[in-house]
Protein backbone atom coordinates (compact mmCIF):
# COMPACT_ATOMS: atom_id res chain seq x y z
CA UNK A 1 0.00 0.00 0.00
CA UNK A 2 1.41 3.33 -1.05
CA UNK A 3 1.83 6.14 1.47
CA UNK A 4 0.47 8.52 -1.14
CA UNK A 5 -2.83 8.17 -2.94
CA UNK A 6 -2.76 7.64 -6.67
CA UNK A 7 -2.31 11.04 -8.21
CA UNK A 8 -4.97 12.10 -10.66
CA UNK A 9 -4.63 15.70 -11.67
CA UNK A 10 -7.62 17.73 -12.68
CA UNK A 11 -6.38 20.66 -14.71
CA UNK A 12 -8.09 23.98 -15.04
CA UNK A 13 -11.31 23.03 -16.87
CA UNK A 14 -10.85 25.90 -19.31
CA UNK A 15 -7.60 24.43 -20.69
CA UNK A 16 -7.87 22.32 -23.84
CA UNK A 17 -5.76 19.22 -24.46
CA UNK A 18 -3.81 21.14 -27.11
CA UNK A 19 -3.15 23.99 -24.66
CA UNK A 20 -2.03 21.50 -22.01
CA UNK A 21 0.36 19.88 -24.47
CA UNK A 22 1.74 23.27 -25.55
CA UNK A 23 2.26 24.38 -21.93
CA UNK A 24 3.98 21.08 -21.08
CA UNK A 25 6.16 21.53 -24.18
CA UNK A 26 7.23 24.98 -23.00
CA UNK A 27 8.32 23.52 -19.66
CA UNK A 28 10.27 20.55 -21.04
CA UNK A 29 11.82 22.62 -23.85
CA UNK A 30 13.55 24.58 -21.10
CA UNK A 31 15.00 21.32 -19.77
CA UNK A 32 15.95 19.78 -23.13
CA UNK A 33 16.68 22.76 -25.39
CA UNK A 34 16.88 21.88 -29.07
CA UNK A 35 15.22 18.48 -28.65
CA UNK A 36 12.76 17.27 -31.27
CA UNK A 37 9.84 16.32 -29.06
CA UNK A 38 7.82 15.12 -32.06
CA UNK A 39 10.39 12.42 -32.79
CA UNK A 40 9.48 9.46 -30.59
CA UNK A 41 12.62 7.67 -31.76
CA UNK A 42 14.55 9.89 -29.33
CA UNK A 43 14.48 9.51 -25.56
CA UNK A 44 13.26 13.11 -25.24
CA UNK A 45 10.43 12.45 -27.70
CA UNK A 46 9.46 9.26 -25.87
CA UNK A 47 9.54 10.98 -22.47
CA UNK A 48 7.44 13.90 -23.73
CA UNK A 49 4.94 11.58 -25.42
CA UNK A 50 4.66 9.58 -22.20
CA UNK A 51 4.12 12.76 -20.17
CA UNK A 52 1.42 14.10 -22.51
CA UNK A 53 -0.39 10.97 -23.67
CA UNK A 54 0.46 7.94 -21.54
CA UNK A 55 1.27 9.06 -18.00
CA UNK A 56 -1.67 7.88 -15.89
CA UNK A 57 -1.23 10.87 -13.56
CA UNK A 58 -1.88 13.33 -16.43
CA UNK A 59 -0.05 16.14 -14.64
CA UNK A 60 -1.14 19.71 -15.18
CA UNK A 61 1.27 22.38 -16.42
CA UNK A 62 0.73 24.47 -13.31
CA UNK A 63 2.27 21.61 -11.29
CA UNK A 64 5.69 22.54 -12.65
CA UNK A 65 7.81 20.61 -10.14
CA UNK A 66 5.83 17.45 -10.86
CA UNK A 67 6.09 18.02 -14.62
CA UNK A 68 9.86 18.50 -14.42
CA UNK A 69 10.47 15.50 -12.18
CA UNK A 70 8.19 13.13 -14.11
CA UNK A 71 9.73 14.20 -17.42
CA UNK A 72 13.33 13.85 -16.20
CA UNK A 73 12.70 10.42 -14.66
CA UNK A 74 10.86 9.26 -17.80
CA UNK A 75 13.83 10.53 -19.83
CA UNK A 76 16.23 8.61 -17.57
CA UNK A 77 14.10 5.51 -18.10
CA UNK A 78 14.02 5.83 -21.90
CA UNK A 79 17.64 6.98 -22.27
CA UNK A 80 18.89 3.98 -20.26
CA UNK A 81 16.76 1.32 -21.95
CA UNK A 82 14.35 1.10 -19.04
CA UNK A 83 12.32 -1.72 -20.54
CA UNK A 84 15.44 -3.88 -20.05
CA UNK A 85 16.01 -2.92 -16.43
CA UNK A 86 16.27 -5.82 -14.01
CA UNK A 87 13.86 -4.41 -11.44
CA UNK A 88 10.64 -2.43 -11.42
CA UNK A 89 9.92 -1.56 -15.03
CA UNK A 90 6.32 -0.41 -15.63
CA UNK A 91 5.38 -3.88 -16.92
CA UNK A 92 5.14 -6.43 -14.06
CA UNK A 93 5.52 -9.28 -16.56
CA UNK A 94 8.92 -7.98 -17.67
CA UNK A 95 10.53 -7.51 -14.26
CA UNK A 96 10.05 -8.16 -10.60
CA UNK A 97 9.74 -5.38 -8.08
CA UNK A 98 10.95 -6.83 -4.77
CA UNK A 99 10.88 -3.56 -2.87
CA UNK A 100 7.84 -3.37 -0.61
CA UNK A 101 5.89 -0.13 -0.51
CA UNK A 102 7.48 1.37 -3.61
CA UNK A 103 5.94 1.84 -7.05
CA UNK A 104 7.36 0.91 -10.42
CA UNK A 105 8.75 3.59 -12.73
CA UNK A 106 6.29 5.44 -14.98
CA UNK A 107 3.25 4.68 -12.85
CA UNK A 108 0.49 6.99 -11.61
CA UNK A 109 1.85 7.46 -8.11
CA UNK A 110 4.05 10.26 -6.91
CA UNK A 111 7.63 10.09 -8.17
CA UNK A 112 8.52 10.13 -4.47
CA UNK A 113 7.12 6.59 -4.33
CA UNK A 114 8.88 5.26 -7.43
CA UNK A 115 11.49 2.62 -6.75
CA UNK A 116 14.68 3.98 -5.19
CA UNK A 117 13.67 7.63 -5.61
CA UNK A 118 13.87 9.66 -2.41
CA UNK A 119 12.33 13.08 -1.96
CA UNK A 120 13.25 15.81 0.53
CA UNK A 121 10.02 15.41 2.48
CA UNK A 122 8.76 11.83 2.54
CA UNK A 123 5.36 13.07 3.74
CA UNK A 124 4.90 15.42 0.76
CA UNK A 125 4.14 13.84 -2.62
CA UNK A 126 5.18 17.12 -4.31
CA UNK A 127 8.61 17.32 -2.74
CA UNK A 128 11.94 17.70 -4.57
CA UNK A 129 13.86 14.57 -5.53
CA UNK A 130 17.08 14.38 -3.52
CA UNK A 131 18.25 10.84 -4.27
CA UNK A 132 18.22 8.38 -7.18
CA UNK A 133 19.68 4.97 -6.37
CA UNK A 134 19.57 2.45 -9.23
CA UNK A 135 22.75 0.33 -8.94
CA UNK A 136 23.04 -3.06 -10.65
CA UNK A 137 19.75 -2.64 -12.51
CA UNK A 138 20.93 -3.24 -16.09
CA UNK A 139 20.75 0.43 -17.10
CA UNK A 140 22.54 0.98 -20.40
CA UNK A 141 23.00 4.00 -22.59
CA UNK A 142 23.76 7.62 -21.88
CA UNK A 143 23.27 9.49 -18.64
CA UNK A 144 20.91 12.34 -19.60
CA UNK A 145 22.18 15.88 -19.06
CA UNK A 146 18.64 16.77 -18.02
CA UNK A 147 19.27 15.25 -14.57
CA UNK A 148 20.64 18.72 -13.79
CA UNK A 149 17.02 19.96 -13.79
CA UNK A 150 16.59 18.07 -10.51
CA UNK A 151 18.09 20.97 -8.61
CA UNK A 152 17.94 19.34 -5.16
CA UNK A 153 19.44 16.01 -6.28
CA UNK A 154 22.26 15.25 -3.84
CA UNK A 155 22.83 11.52 -4.45
CA UNK A 156 22.97 9.73 -7.78
CA UNK A 157 24.00 6.08 -7.52
CA UNK A 158 24.09 4.33 -10.89
CA UNK A 159 26.99 1.97 -10.09
CA UNK A 160 27.38 -1.39 -11.79
CA UNK A 161 25.40 -0.47 -14.90
CA UNK A 162 26.60 0.08 -18.47
CA UNK A 163 26.33 3.85 -18.82
CA UNK A 164 28.29 6.56 -20.61
CA UNK A 165 28.35 10.30 -20.15
CA UNK A 166 29.34 12.82 -17.55
CA UNK A 167 27.55 14.12 -14.51
Report the pLDDT value the prediction gives residue 105, as an integer from 0 to 100. 87
In which residue ranges of the chain is pLDDT below 50?
A: 1-9
Q: How many whole angstroms separate alpha carbon 144 and alpha carbon 48?
A: 14
Interaxial angle between packed helices 17-29 and 64-79, expressed in degrees from 0 to 180 and rounded to the nearest 10: 70
Alpha helical stretches, state H, 37-103:
43-49, 64-79
Threshold 0.95, pTM exceeds: no
Amino acid sequence: ISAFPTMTMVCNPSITLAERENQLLQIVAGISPGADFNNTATAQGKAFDWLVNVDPAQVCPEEQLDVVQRYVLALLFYETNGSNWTFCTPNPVESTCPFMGEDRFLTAGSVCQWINITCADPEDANSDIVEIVLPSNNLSGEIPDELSALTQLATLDLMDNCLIGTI
